Every structure is written in structure tokens, then in C-alpha cells.
Amino acid sequence: MSPNPPLVHVIGAGPAGLMAAERLAGGGVRVVVHERMPSVARKFLMAGRGGLNLTHSETLEAFAGRYGAARPMAEGWVKAFSPADLIGWAEGLGQPTFVGSSGRVFPKTMKASPLLRAWLARLDGLGVEVRTRSRWIGWREDMLAFETPAGVGLERADAVVLALGGASWPRLGSDAAWTGWLEAPLSPFRPANVGFDVGWSDVFRDRFAGQPLKGVALGFGDRTVRGEAMIAAYGIEGGGVYALSADLREALATDGAATLTVDLRPDLSVEALAARLTRPRGKDSVTNWLRKAGGLSPVAVGLLREIGEPPPGPDKLARRTKGVRLKLTGVQGLERAISSAGGVRLDAVDQRLMLTTRPGVFVAGEMLDWEAPTGGYLLQASCASGVVAAQGVLDWLADPKPEQAGPA
């Protein structure tokens, strides 16, 4: 590092911010990371409790398609820091990975904490300073202002990376308070990767809330996804639902309701399932007969019966089983959402992720208006955007336009 390196403040210590800090420090600048919570990467650690899904092994073409309307920009991030790059990065921190049966990539420990410890040790070795309980509260006369236990402090910066997160899971730090003082075009925050309300009967709710629907196919409009869903007391959630959540959310906003179709036996055609359902019931209850003849789990049978008594005849019953229609009446809020849509509009930043209205200030992660389903796509894009923002900072510091003064 040179005797007087540029000073860059990274605000937000989630995956996007920490990745930006690592790349910046590796580029020879002095980096200070600010985190308003008492510890860093709380949402990252929470996500890792069920097995940290790093990325996905599918082709780049399929991967890029997961970002919907944000694809033109998000695809560039993923090309700049690909799934292979993310896997190599994790393994370089001593965290070997494996590809699961669904194509998702996990660390072999299935935990976030060992990876985070190794990451923080690397950042410390690079000279990155991490300040917790340091909440950014905007600018004061072109200086960055931070609220700390010692009071409000002002900091100069040669460049800034904002990685403050979106608006989901606010108790973990992403409260979107920054929208009050960031002068940039914003899209309203909306819950993403979130569950939906269904008016279950008391009997079904009490018996099956918390149980998974495994190996089903879920459909809405012209899209069908294979995956898993979870019955919740309020309705339905889970990876298969999250893959459709953007479309379902918009339909609810427009029409006030949406119908989710559940195929309980997607591995069988209607004809093959009907042939199985010709098996005599004998002395079995309807539930036991459906379990034995139809191969349905108790929760699947419960769901089938929740929407009405199973119709007579194997053909009609097979069609009902492969097309359970659930009326969704609402969407859970941001406090229960895994991620959020909305934030800084993508047309408010350039390809380097620098704000067009504030030279030297870059934005990364969930602050930006993009969304993707779970399955590795969220973490991949967050980390990749941090890499792109960091490279943008380094390029801008090396060759700013003459009329551009720094952010502070």
C-alpha cells in the first residue's frame, strides 16, 4: 500500500459490502467498513442456519434468466464474478463446496459461520478496518456522518460504497432507513421470496402447519416450477413458492387475489395416476387408500381434501390431484420476507454501479432494485455486485473525469 492511499468507506457489512471491501483492499486502497449492528453479516449468518446456499451450478444462460427485469445489468455482474469464481473464493478461504442434487452449491460444513470467520480474518490481514455500531446518517457539508456510541462523527472519503441492504428482515439490520437521506431515484420496497396467505380451515391448519409438501410442482400463469412448499399457519411458503413470488405478488397487487396450482404427483401423467387409482379401496379409509394407491403423503392428502371432497372416479380424482387450486388472498410483509424488491433504481447507476447524481458513490447488493429466487441467486448477485462496485471505485479513482469532485 502506498504511503497515502485513497480512503474508501464501505457502508454495510453484509456479503456485498464485505466483498467490495476485500476487492478494494486488494487494489491498494485504505478501507473502512461501517456496520450499524453490534456484529457483521447477521442476515448472512441467519441464511446459513438451514445450510448456506452459495450459488447454483446451472448454465450462465439459465442463471441470468433468474433476475427477470434486472437481467440486462445483473447478467453483467454474474459474468464479472461468476458462480465458478464464488466457489473458488470460498474454497480459497478453506471452505470446500459440493453440488447438491438440485444443482445448488453449498459449503461442506453447511454453515455460514466458518466461512465468515475465515473471511473476516482475510480482511483483517488486508488491513480492512471494521467499525460496528457505526450507523450512516447521511452527509454533512460533503462529509459522511455516522452515529456511534461516542456521538456523531464526520469522515472524509475519496470514494464510498453503499451496501446497506434492502428492507427485509429489518431486525437483522436492513431497515432501509437510508432512503430518507440518499438523494437517488427509488422504487418502493416490496417483499420477495415470501409466503402467501391462504384461508385454511382450522382443522387443516392445526394438523398440518409446519409440514412440507415434497416433490410437488407449483404453477402460476404460464410458469411451472418443481420444488418444495411448506404449509404455514397463515398459508404457504417455501422454495417452490418463492420461485413464483414476484409474479404472485404483482397479481395480488393488481387483482387482489391469485390462484396457485399444485401438482401433488408431477412425476406421473394423469393417465398413469388414474390407473393407480383404480385400485379397490377395500376396508381402507380414503386417506389410507390415497396414500397407498396414489403415493400421497398425509399432508398432500390433507391438502387434496381441504379444497373439497375428492371427486368420484379415477380420472377426475387424478386431475384434481395434479391440479389442486389454492386461492391466495395476501402476501406476507417485508419483516417476514427473505429478500426485497425495490430500492435504488438501476437507471440511477452506471455500469460501474456509481450513482449518476453523485460521482464517487457506488451502490451494491440489495439496495439496488433487483430480485431473484432463493437457490443461490441472491448471494451470487450480492457478492458479484460488490465486486463490480469495487472495481468501479478503483477505475474511478485511477481516472476520474476532471469535473468530478469526490463525494466528501
3-state SS assignment for residue 15? helix
- Rg (C-alpha) for the chain, rounded Å, is 24
CB distance 302 to 207 below 8 Å: yes
Q: Which residues of 53-82 are buried (b: 16+ CB within 10 A; e: fewer)?
A: bbbbbbeeeebbebbeebeebbbebbeebb
- Contact indicator for 202, 332 with CB cutoff of 8 Å: no
Task: Write out pLDDT tens, residues 166-219.
Answer: 999 888 888 999 999 998 999 999 999 999 999 999 999 999 999 999 999 999
Per-residue pLDDT, 189: 97
The series of mean pLDDT values per 10 residues for the chain, 408 residues long, is 86 98 98 97 88 95 96 98 98 97 94 96 98 97 95 97 95 91 95 97 97 97 94 97 96 95 97 94 87 94 93 93 97 94 98 96 98 96 98 95 51
Predicted pLDDT at 282: 85
- Residue 404: per-residue pLDDT: 46
Question: Which pLDDT value is given to residue 283?
Answer: 86
Facing residues of 223 across strands?
Answer: 220
Q: What is the DSSP string of 376-403?
A: SHHHHHHHHHHHHHHHHHHHHHHS--TT
| CB distance 117 to 93 below 8 Å | no
Domain ranges in the chain? 7-191+338-398, 196-331
Helices (H) and strands (E) in the chain, counts: 14, 20
Fold of 7-191+338-398: FAD/NAD(P)-binding domain (3.50.50)
Q: Which stretches within 5-127 are classed as H helix? A: 15-26, 42-47, 60-64, 71-80, 83-92, 113-125
Three-class DSSP category at 344: strand
Please, what sign has the CA dihedral across residues 346, 347, 351, 354? negative
- What does the pLDDT read at residue 281? 85
CA 219 to mean position of chain CA atoms: 20
- What is the structure's pLDDT at 402? 47
C-alpha cell at 378: 441472491
Which of 118, 106, 115 is CA-nearest to residue 52?
A: 106
How far is Cα 265 from Cα 269, in angstroms, rounded to an integer?
A: 8
